[in-house]
Structure 1
Amino acid sequence: MEDRTNPPAWLTEPEAAHHLRVSPDTLRRWRREGTGPDWHRAGGRLIRYRLTEVDAWVTGSGEAAR
């Protein structure tokens, strides 16, 4: 069962897409175009999103908000 009282600090691509209510393909396109939330590469190939940065992007208060 998912713990909603203590969400993870880092989100996988599918988790971030779910959080934003978009498809993973949309999130990938935003990443390519540089229009989505900030993302980070972990271990060379893994893409991760910091939950606080995703939320800041949604509200327009993050650096990635363009």
Structure 2
Amino acid sequence: MNSDLSPVRLLTTPQAAALMGLRPNTLEIWRVSGKGPAYRKLAGRAVRYVETEVIEWLAACRHRNTSEYALCGRAAAPQTEAAQ
């Protein structure tokens, strides 16, 4: 996340989808189901993605084998005290 005051590049749904090699409709479906990168809702309607957050999300989706697939695009499960 960009914690300083430097400008961020906001992407529309089609721009973010193009960056990820997806159709815009895929991101729309993911927003409803809670998958995909974080987004911002501006003025109640306009959806924007922060470019650096999309790139970070893509990096988190890197897999080495098929057993890792379930981890990408979903919020991390809350850790119990025993796991911490």
Q: Which TM-score tier does this pair reach, normalised by the shorter chain?
A: 0.7 to 0.9
For 2:30 and 2:18, the matched residues in 1 are separated by 15
Aligned residues: 57
Using the size of structure 2 for normalisation, the TM-score is 0.61
Aligned CA RMSD, in angstroms, stands at 1.9
Q: Percent identity?
A: 39
Unaligned runs of 5+ in 2: 1-7, 62-71, 75-84
Rg (Cα) greater in structure: 2
Please state which structure has a larger fraction of its residues in strand: 1
Unaligned runs of 5+ in 1: 1-7
Runs of 4+ off more than 4 Å: none
Using the size of structure 1 for normalisation, the TM-score is 0.77
Of the two structures, which has the highest relative contact order with CA contacts closer than 8 Å and spacing of 6 or more?
A: 1
Asked if residue 43 in structure 1 is aligned to residue 43 in structure 2, the reply is yes
For 1:65 and 1:21, the matched residues in 2 are separated by 15
